[in-house]
Each structure stands twice: as structure tokens, then as C-alpha cells.
Amino acid sequence: MKNLKIVVLAKQVPDTRQVGKDAMTPEGTVNRAALPAIFNPEDLNALEMALSLKDRVGGATVHVLTMGPQRAADIIRDAMFRGADGGYLLSGREFAGSDTLATSYALSCALKKIGPDVIIAGRQAIDGDTAQVGPQVAEKLGLPQVTYAEQIVEIKEASLVIKRRLSGGVETVECPVPAVVTVNASAPECRPRNAKRVMKFKGALADSEVAAAPQSEAAQRIAGRPYLRIVEFPASAVDPDPQQLGLEGSPTKVKKIENVVFQAKEARRLTASDEEINSLMVELIASHTLG
């Protein structure tokens, strides 16, 4: 495969694994500000698969495509520090309120502009856990898909041999490119940031970041260094059908949100003393809970 163009779909997500005491507001809603915004974990596995594919074929490039607000450019910079050649930020208020279908539609419009040979995404994002966007993008582009990928076993002339991790075992498939691949958390972890690349790419800016302060030193630096430009697509740049974007383009509607509250129930408190553990076991046996 020559000049393989690889695009990684990635998402900046609130770190829902770090939900602590301050994660809920006194009113009982999710306090997004208390959660750090991170590179979605399985998208990092996807980035690694893309970078290792690039390492194995000459002339390949890896770009990250993300949809999100301006600050989502952070994960594109992070990907560049780890080895990506650059990225695209799909950003605009038209995309607000998108469900998975509207998201996949927007991404597929951008992908038609980019024209990749291989699209690699994380299996799912930790803020939604739906695992829908990868397959939905594949369908919108009319491409075959390989989900739960763990390893690209072999690169052939016009196809990839990929090992998939299923719930009870593994399956090896051969899939022609172009194709969409979604990557499992069991795939190799992403390589760390490279110090030289951090120095080289730390000044990378998305177009709207440059436009916000065109006279700044950072913006001036980009003028002579095109590799520092993170290409930004507003909705108008990807020729979408506006009716399929954002809230309007989302068939699913959120009817109601409830915060999870533990039901107060008094636990019987026990200490680790021999007497108390003994009487607990006696009680459980007597009630036929045990034995």
C-alpha cells in the first residue's frame, strides 16, 4: 500500500472514571467542570494502531479528526506529540446537540473531504459508551467495518488482515480498504509523547485559535510553518445537509435526565472482631443464605 492516508477518529471526553465527591453539584447535576477533559482512552489505542500501521508502510500519514469545541484541539496537539502528522477540527454550533447518528453524519461529511484509505476509531467513548459512531460512519460512507480490532496482523496489497477480540475468543478477518476499523481497549497502549515532537508541535493551533489572536507571537509563528496548522472545518466547509446536523438531525431525544442517588438504607455495621464475624456466619447459615 503506497501513500496510505490514515485518519483516526477521536473525541475529547470528560473523565467519567474520575467521578469524585465534587463531581455532582449541590443541585444534583453533573459538574462537568470538576472532571478533567481527556483523550478518550480507546481512541488512544486507535491512534497507536494507526501509528504502528504507518511505521510498517512507507509514505503513510496519520491525521486525527475530531468534532468538538475549540478546546478539543488539545487532543489533536496531544496526538501530534505522540506521532500524528496533523489533524482536523470539525467545529461549529450547527453540530451542538448531536446524537450518535448526527455525529456520524457530520464526521462522514468531513471524511469525504479528506478522502482517507483507512479510518481507525476507538470502539467507544467513555462519556456515552454507545460504540455506535464507528459503524454508523462506515455505513454512511458505504465502507466495510472491522470492530473490536486488536491487531493488524498483515498488510496486503489492497486489504488488511485484522485480529478481532470477541467476548469469547478471537476472530481473524481480511477486509479490503478503504475501511473503518474500531479498536478495543485490549489493543496495545498508545506510545508516550515524544519530547522532540512536543517541542516541534506545541505551537500548533487550530484556525479559530489563530483568528482569535492573529497578531500573537504564536499565530505569527504558524505563518512560516504550515505543519503547525490544525485545519478547522466549520459546517459550511463540509457541505452537509443542514437537516441532518445537530439537534435537528438527531432522531433520538432526551426526554428526561435523573441523577443517580443512592437509596438510603441503614447497613448493619460490624467490626472485624472474631465474635461479630462468627455471629454473622451463623446468621447467614441459619437463614439459608449460605450453605
Partner 1 sequence: MPFFVMNNIFVYIEIEGGKVADVSLELLTKGRELASTLGVGLDAVVLGEGLAGIEKELAKYGADTVWVADDKTFAPFRTLPHTAVLCGLIEQEKPQIVLFGATCIGRDFAPRVSSALHSGLTADCTQLVIGDHKDARSGREYTDLLYQIRPAFGGNIIATIVNPDHRPQMATVREGVMRKEYAAEPGKGEVRAIDWQKFVRDSDLVVKILDREIEERKIDIKGAGIIVAGGYGMGSKENFRLVHELAEVLGGEVGASRAAVDAGFTGHERQVGQTGVTVRPKLYIACGISGQIQHTAGMDQSSMVISINSDPEAPICKIADYAITGDVCDIIPKMIKYYKQNSK
Find the binding residues for partner 1 in span 225-244 (CB under 8 A). Answer: 244
Residues 167-196, one symbol each (x = binds partner 1 by CB under 8 A, - = not), give xxxxxxxxxx--------------------
Q: Site residues for partner 1, window 81-100 (CB under 8 A)?
A: 99-100
Q: Considering beta carbons, is residue 68 or 87 the nearer one to partner 1?
A: 68
Cβ-count burial 260-287 (b if 16+ within 10 Å, e if not): eeeeeeeeeeeeeeeeeeeeeeeeeeee
- Per rule CB under 8 A, is residue 45 in the interface with partner 1? no
Find the shortest distance in angstroms from Cβ 165 to partner 1: 9
- Contacts of 125-128 with C-beta under 8 Å, sequence gap 24+, read 125/11, 125/13, 125/40, 125/42, 125/43, 126/13, 126/15, 126/16, 126/17, 126/40, 126/41, 127/13, 127/14, 127/16, 127/40, 128/100
Q: Site residues for partner 1, window 111-140 (CB under 8 A)?
A: 126-140
Find the shortest distance in angstroms from Cβ 39 to partner 1: 16
- Per rule CB under 8 A, is residue 259 in the interface with partner 1? yes
Find the shortest distance in angstroms from Cβ 276 to partner 1: 8
- Per rule CB under 8 A, is residue 12 in the interface with partner 1? no
Q: Considering beta carbons, is residue 195 or 260 the nearer one to partner 1?
A: 260
- Per rule CB under 8 A, is residue 39 in the interface with partner 1? no
Query: Do residues 106 and 67 make contact, with C-beta atoms less than 8 angstroms apart?
Result: yes
How far does Cα 161 stand from its chain's mean position?
Answer: 23
* Interacting residue with partner 1 among 146, 149, 190, 230 (CB under 8 A): 146
* Dist CA 48 CA 195 (whole Å): 17
* Interacting residue with partner 1 among 33, 199, 212, 281 (CB under 8 A): 281
Sign of CA dihedral 234, 240, 242, 245: negative
Q: Cell 441523577, residue?
A: 259
Query: Do residues 199 and 213 make contact, with C-beta atoms less than 8 angstroms apart?
Result: no
User: How many residues in the shown chain lie near partner 1 by CB under 8 A?
Assistant: 77
- Per rule CB under 8 A, is residue 201 in the interface with partner 1? no
Q: Considering beta carbons, is residue 25 or 236 the nearer one to partner 1?
A: 25
